[in-house]
Amino acid sequence: MSHGLKTLWPWLAAVAGVAVFHFLLTDRLDPYYFTILMYAGINATLAVSLNLVCGFTGQFSMGHAGFMSVGGYVSAYITTLIAASHPNWIDDPNIAPTVFACVLMIAGIASAIMGYLVGLPSLRLRGDYLAIVTLGFGEIIRVIVLNVDAIGGARGMPNIPALSGFGWVFGILVLTIFVTWRLIHSRQGREFLAVREDEIAAEAMGVNTTSAKVRAFATGAFFAGVSGALFAHYLRYLNPQTFDFNRSFEVIIMVVLGGLGSLTGSVVAAFFLTILKELLRPLQELTKLDFRMVIYSALLIVLMLTRPNGLFGTKEITSYFKGKFGKGDSA
Amino acid sequence: MIEFVQHLVNGLSLGAIYALIALGYTMVFGILQLINFAHGDVYMLGAFIGMYTSRAFHLADHPSVWALLLILFTAMTGCAIVGFLIERIAYRPLRKSPRINLLITAVGVSLFLEFSGQLVFGADPKFFPQVFSINADFSFGELKINPLQVLVFGISITLMTILQTIIYKTRAGRAMRAASFSHDLASLMGIPTDRVISFTFMLGSALAGAAGVLVGLIYPKIEPLMGSMPGLKAFVAAVLGGIGNVTGAVVGALILGLSESFLVGYGYPTFRDALAFALLILILLFKPTGLFGSKRTEKV
């Protein structure tokens, strides 16, 4: 019991922190900074969920934006339907959170099902195929969205109810980190790590490698779908162009920069890169050239050549903290 | 019937271009087990090198076979150098690191080429100069065939025959086949594996460069992002034929080119880009080794 509490208190503190900041910041912070903060939170959720696939299971997915768009469009479609038929479910502050929680859940499940369908054929084979198939999947989703008129097609989907907020985005972020953390320290997670380290050896030890990879992949897709739903209900407008390959690539670079296999690293890198993007904006407007992708791709190559483990490697920030105060417990 | 033959001709010339790109993928995969994502962008560079050569020598003013051969030569040489540099700078230092790192680097190189291409060449489409033109169409009754398509097909087949000779008839080719069987064994036999790998990259990149020029002849609109889609499709073609297998890559590319041309010709142009990926998923489900691929057992 005491052990349970001891491992739980950082999470409870994080939830309390989110609640406090929710009341401190909402409607008080400058809207521009608030938006950046929200994007950073959504990106961090994406990065953490991709890290489960890339960092902890060693599979390379390039279609995270695709899963995000599945979640975003599914949830937006449902809430606009609800807003049309039962407007009070959206407007009533007592009911809306429950409705939104259900919608987030559905968005996640829809994405996870897509993840299962995409992952199953490609994950039976070695990792490289997953990269191409997920890349293709992102494109296919985009083509489909463009051709479906019910969700706006190329015009995009406007007037999505504003349900998402600081508490939601950062609450989900904490939840994602919590679930991923607990997952990788469970029996399931050990299987993921075994697959990453050596697939053949893992198989010899009785791990069903295909199943482990598909489970990790579907879980990653679930949270990508949820963050897509958060994004849709914050921006209130969806466009197929938002979820192109560059979006997937941004998430990949966040994961790689933070360290494949470091959850805190992903969060730090997501915040860093989201803010960097805004800082680079004046330069871009001045020169009329898009340096961002050049910088990102060069950064990726240089990182791989010089520090392939990213900023934090497989370590968490907390482990540095522990080392410093000599509590050294091997987590 | 006439329409059918027309689509057939379109499909064959498109397939021949995919084949030239797919060969580079399949050779590099055969020797390094790496999907060289940057390969499609080398093809893009081939088109741009061709364009700048022709501008520098004002070749479009006097269209001739020699002009075409000259830009083919410069594009192939230029791309061979680019391929060599990519392997030397980005891939060789990672020879011993985990595969996922190599894959991430390959994606990085690809995007770097695409977006620095946008900075250097400009993001707007450029017109590929007409260095070679035949005014009259070949016509057989109602059927009209664009002679450029025949030319493209002919040049591709010639290049593939040369490649086949290099791989199966020369010492360098034998070294390539040995190295793709096993790096360690090959180097024990005195084969300089690193040099062989460089050579493979240069050969594949030269073919991609040729494909870039040929594509410029038929579809004279080139832009820095033009390489990513054909690159991915060529990869699908290589998987379809059995990745690592040279004949398979050509057959797979022709199948893909034909099916795409029929899909577009018979009224579903919007699904053109989705077709390749749907094919890929089907192959991975039912015959992951491809049409001609042999099953490799993984060793510890």
How far, in Å, CA of A170 to CA of A43, rounded? 11
Which of A298-312, B188-202, B224-238 reaches the highest mean pLDDT? B188-202
DSSP codes of every residue in B92-151: GGGTTS-HHHHHHHHHHHHHHHHHHHHHHH-SS-EEPP--S---SPEEETTEEE-HHHHH
Cα separation, B277 vs B275, whole angstroms: 6
pLDDT at residue B298, as a whole number: 52
List, in order, residues 6 or more apart from A247 with CB less than 8 Å away: A64, A65, A68
Hunting for tokens 């190329």 — which residue is that?
A154
> What are the tokens at B139?
């016509």
In the prediction, which pLDDT does A325 show?
47
φ/ψ of residue A57, rounded to 5: -110, -10
Query: What is the average pLDDT across B259-275?
Result: 83
Per-residue tokens: A315: 């370590």
Radius of gyration of chain A (CA): 20
State the CB neighbour count (10 A cutoff) for residue A153.
13
- Amino acid B136 reads A
A41's tokens: 């939170």
**Option in A125, A139, A297 nearest B288 (CB):** A125
**Helices B39-56 + B99-121 axis angle, to 10:** 30
Phi, psi of B145 (to 5 degrees): -115, 130
The pLDDT, as a whole number, for residue A125 is 73
Burial class (CB in 10 A: 0-12, 13-18, 19+), A126: middle
Two tokens, residue B181: 């069987």
CA B44 and chain centroid, separation: 10
Q: Token match 């349900």: residue?
A: A163
- How far is the alpha carbon of A287 from chain B, nearest alpha carbon, in Å? 11
According to DSSP, the residues that pair with A280 across neighbouring strands are none
φ, ψ of residue B52 in degrees (nearest 5): -70, -35
Spatial CB neighbours of A6, under 8 Å, sequence gap ≥ 6: none
Provide the pLDDT for residue A313: 78
Interchain proximity B112–A297, CB inside 8 Å = yes
Q: Residue B46: exposed, middle, or buried by beta-carbon count in 10 A (0-12, 13-18, 19+)?
A: buried
Residue among B98, B109, B284 minimizing CB distance to A122: B284
Token output for B241: 């034929």
DSSP 8-state class, residue A239: -
Cβ separation B277–A140 shorter than 8 A:
yes
Interatomic CA distance for residues B266 and B7, integer angstroms: 9
Interface contact B109-A297, CB threshold 8 A? yes
Cα separation, A279 vs A309, in Å, equals: 26
Q: Is the pLDDT of residue B200 over 60?
A: yes
Q: Mean pLDDT lowest for which of A67-71, B113-117, B268-272?
A: B268-272
The alpha carbon dihedral of B214, B219, B221, B225 has a sign of: negative
Determine the pLDDT at residue B145: 79
In chain A, which residues have pLDDT < 50?
1-2, 325-331
Number of CB atoms found within 10 A of residue B74's CB: 20
- Taking 60 as the threshold, does the pLDDT of residue B211 lie above it? yes
Higher pLDDT, A297 or B2: A297
Q: Which amino acid is at B276?
A: A
Can you read off the two tokens belonging to residue A149?
């008129």
Residues B211 and B21: their CA atoms lie apart, in Å, by: 7
Residue A149: which residues within 8 A CB-CB, separation 6 or more?
none
The average pLDDT across B204-221 equals 92
How far does the CA of residue A198 sit from the closest CA of chain B (Å)? 9
pTM, two decimals, is 0.85
As beta bridge partners, residue A238 has A157
Bridge-based pairing state of the strands B138-140 and B143-145: antiparallel
CA distances from A97 to A14, A15, A93, B46, B102 (A): 20, 17, 7, 55, 44
pLDDT of B297 strictly over 70:
no
Residues in B whose CB is inside 8 Å of some CB of A read 33-35, 90, 93-94, 97-101, 103-105, 107-112, 114-116, 118-119, 123, 232, 235-236, 239, 270-271, 273-274, 276-278, 280-281, 284-285, 288, 298, 300
Contact B290, B277 (CB under 8 A): no
> Which among B97, B123, B239 has the least Cβ separation from residue A308?
B97
Count chain A–chain B contacts defined by CB atoms under 8 A: 117
Q: Is B244 exposed, middle or buried (0-12, 13-18, 19+ CB in 10 A)?
A: buried
pLDDT at B291 over 70: yes
Checking if the pLDDT of B83 tops 70, the result is yes
Higher pLDDT: B141 or A250? It is A250
Angle between helices B193-218 and B147-169 (to 10 degrees): 170
Please give the structure tokens belonging to residue B31.
């020797």
Is the torsion defined by CA of A234, A240, A243, A246 positive or negative?
Answer: negative
